[in-house]
Amino acid sequence: MAVSLILVHPVFSSSARPTLRKPKCHEDERLALLEFKRAFFNKSLCESYEHPMATNLESWLVAEGEAGDCCAWDGVECDDETGRVIGLDLENSCLHGLIGSNASLFHLVRLRRLNLAVNNFKSSRIPSAIGNLRELTSLVLFGSSFRGQIPREVLNLTNLSFLDLSYNIDLELKSPSLENLLRSLTKLEGLNLSWVSMSSPLPDAIADFSNLTSLVLVDCNLQGELPATLDVSNNKNLSVRMPKFRRGNPLKSLSLSKTRCSGQLPSSLGNLSSLIELVIAGCELSGVIPSSLGELARLHTLDLSENQLTGEIPPSLGKLLVRLTELYLSNNQLSGEIPTSLMNLAKVYHFDLSYNQLTGRIPSQISGLTSVHELDLSHNKLEGPMPSTISGLKKLSVLTLNTLQWIDLSYNGISEQVPRWLLNMSMKNLAHLNLSNNSLTRFSSYPIEFKWANLETLDLRYNRMEGPLPLPPRSIKFYLTSNNKLTGQIPPAICQLNLILILDLASNELLGVLPSCLSNLSSTLLTLSLHGNGFYGRIPPLHKGACKLQMVDLSDNQLEGPLPRGLSKCVGLEFLNLGNNRIANTFPSWLGSLPNLKEPKSNHQHFPKLRIIDLSMNNFSGGLPSKYLDSWNAMKFTKIDEMVYYADHMWQPNLFSNYYGDYDYSMTILNKGIETKYNKILEYLTVIDLSSNGFVGEIPSSIGSLMELHLLNLSNNAITGSIPSSLRNLTKLEALDLSRNELTGKIPPELTQLTSLEFFNVSDNHLSGPIPREKQFNTFENSSYKGNSRLCGTPLTKKCSNLEASPPPLSNNVLVKEDSRTWIKELDWMIVLMGFASGSVVGAVVGLNYTMGIKRWFVNKFCQGKQSKQRRHRRRRVI
């Protein structure tokens, strides 16, 4: 395993600036920033990504002459005393184009920190004018498409303590050389030049750097020998001579993986008391592991795998219990028994001793590895019974002991039928089979006979599987076949799966009546997802005796009849989605008896945990549900300590996510005029969408108390009266759509206080008077107001008379204070998504979707999303 250090350096944080900024930024620097934005910011590039993103630049004023303090702009840091711009953070800001020394950026000569990482400067050379910024202490240009020789003017930046020019393909450091750089920039503490071509030996000057704590030189074509080392991994032609390390050495990371590092590990490694990461994998090390490594009390990662180390594992490694999280000693020639002291490593989550010559038994103290997720002891000479104490490893998800239990062939492009050899393999211990995300079309023969009597997981999702639904073994716990083309009915024999926890058959072409015996599964079944098929008839009782259901999604079928009242027995139910069916019923007030749905009848509250309500595109009539608004406490105030997704809330820490993978809940809503699919939903997203119904009457002023709202859509109804000025309190509102109603009166000027508002639409009403033109209202176009013949003022062509002049802007003092908020600790029933057809209830909450793999790059503000064009008169599906 090769590990390259990725240095996390505190470049700057705009949020750390004091609230009071004195004085404001200088005009020449403000204009320089605006000129730089005009020259390089490409907003369409941001919108072209699969997940459109916002950048710091969007907060910057764009028109010359506009008032504004650039010290308040996102990504801009100013000196508190002089007002000069000293920091600029434009990482991942959709900058695009060739950059030269004439760029206005280089007029900011007081800059101390500059970050232009992850942009596209189209193979520009780093401008020589960079040398003008002599006060720079941090310069970050990684991954921004620079090429060519690094200019000699970089040597002028003698105050630099951190320099990152990595991952710019075709960038070179030859003249000046690395030695020139190191001898000029004597204050460097962190240097990352990965992928920068050098074709030279590592200079002796590196040994003189007493301040340097992090050096990353991955894939730099280095040659020769190394007198002192930090991170030079993946330089296969580099010979490494291990030095004698002195006490007090500040080195924090030492990575020599896949270099020509040979010989024995020196015992002086124990002198590196600041070391956090020691990675020397895939080299030519021999000899024993020095016991002095047990003195590295701050060590998080120890990787000595794929070498020729011999002897016993030193018991002293057990002293690393305080911080060690990863231990890799695999693929060596280590012998002897596993030291019981290693069982003290309570924070280790990767523990790998595989492919050695270890003997004896697995220590019964193994339960001490309380944080371990992956434990690999395979390909040794261990013997004896498995200690029963291993059952105490509650977080263990992968256990490898010479016995095949997992087969994962997902995401491999396998097409046509499921391989015959796979089905013919007799593997009594196989527990998990994953064939998802391929192009499989069918099994080789029907009916399918699975030979794996202990199979717990069968995952066939996201293929092109046709034919009838395969019946898994009775041992199954997770049966997942969604997003295929399976046909026919659900066989009644499926009700014999009396261990099943998750049954996901969604998004197929299944049809028929749901078997009434599904209620037999309620004592174990946690999730039932059958949405997006052709099922019809009544919904079966879904419970018989005990009911453990937490999530039910039967949406997008043709089910009819009343909602089964027996669901009230499912006391753990948190998510219920019956949208897009033919269910005839009145509002199911009896759902309030479910403790996790939180409708305390004693004080007449209704769904106080509700954060998302979508009743759009149905046939509701009557007044807006004003009596419910006062009890929707979660929309009034909240306290979120960390970013938590709904899937995390339901499944962790002890269900599917620890056995096999992760579930993520998804939904589709109309956001800022565009139909948007959210594949992951953060718990603090708050939405009301009652659009495309027949609601009448006035907008209740009490809606202004829901101060956590992000999106409010009441469009396409028959709402009358005026727009309540209380909407000014919704300071987090980003989208407000009141279009296609019967509203009268003026647009309240108080709405200009909604500085987070990005989308506003009151078109096709009977509004009159001047359009407010303060703050965000300066950004809304003609389409926001069309169809109101008595409105006047910009951006409409109709001018206002003197009698219709706009009122003065309001003071911020009119906003409702939030000092008296009380916080809700639990978020049990925070999201309800209801769809109604023919004036009757059809569902509540969101659907179920599975995602796998690394989710790292671009995400939008609330969730990961994928947008499509709005379809206003089509019933929207909840995925």
What does the pLDDT read at residue 388? 65
pLDDT 10s digits, 313-355: 999 999 998 899 999 999 999 999 999 999 999 999 999 999 9
Closest CA to 818 of 636, 585, 569, 606: 636
Here the CATH number for the domain that contains residue 290 is: 3.80.10.10
Angstrom distances, CA of residue 624 to CA of 6, 362, 420:
54, 66, 59
Q: Quick one: tokens of 184?
A: 């000029």
pLDDT 10s digits, 723-778: 999 999 998 898 999 999 999 999 999 999 998 898 999 999 999 999 998 888 99
More confident residue, 544 or 77: 77
What does the pLDDT read at residue 650? 47
Could you please report the per-residue DSSP string of 472-519? Answer: --TT-SEEE--SS--EEPPPGGGGG-TT-SEEE--SSEEEEEPPGGGG
What does the pLDDT read at residue 490? 94
Checking if the pLDDT of 851 tops 80, the result is no
Let me know if residue 768 belongs to a domain: no
Query: Strands 76-78, 85-89: parallel, antiparallel or unpaired by DSSP?
Result: antiparallel
Q: Quick one: tokens of 226?
A: 């190394």
Amino acid (one-letter) located at 97: G
pLDDT 10s digits, 96-117: 999 999 999 999 999 999 999 9
Q: Quick one: tokens of 610?
A: 């509700």
Closest CA to 539 of 554, 522, 550, 521: 554
Alpha-carbon distance of 418 to 693, in angstroms, equals 47
What does the pLDDT read at residue 67? 57
The residue written with tokens 């702009």 in the block is 73
pLDDT 10s digits, 634-683: 567 665 555 555 555 444 333 444 444 455 555 555 665 665 655 555 55
The per-residue pLDDT of the chain, averaged, comes to 76
Let me know if residue 784 belongs to a domain: no
Alpha-carbon distance of 567 to 593, in angstroms, equals 10
Total residues belonging to the chain: 879
What b/e string do you get for 426-458 counting C-beta neighbours within 10 Å, with b at 16 or more? Answer: ebeebbbbbbbbbebbbbeeeebebebeebbbb
For the four alpha carbons of 452, 453, 458 and 463, in that order, the dihedral sign comes to positive
Alpha-carbon distance of 425 to 421, in angstroms, equals 6
pLDDT 10s digits, 589-632: 444 444 554 333 334 444 455 566 666 665 666 777 666 666 66
Identify the band that residue 558 occupies on the pLDDT scale cut at 50, 70 and 90.
confident
Closest CA to 484 of 460, 458, 459: 460
Alpha-carbon distance of 738 to 766, in angstroms, equals 12
Alpha-carbon distance of 467 to 465, in angstroms, equals 7
pLDDT 10s digits, 118-158: 999 999 999 999 999 999 999 999 999 999 999 999 999 99
Residue 329, domain extent? 250-402
Please state the domain count of the chain.
1
Let me know if residue 305 belongs to a domain: yes
Let me know if residue 682 belongs to a domain: no
Let me know if residue 750 belongs to a domain: no
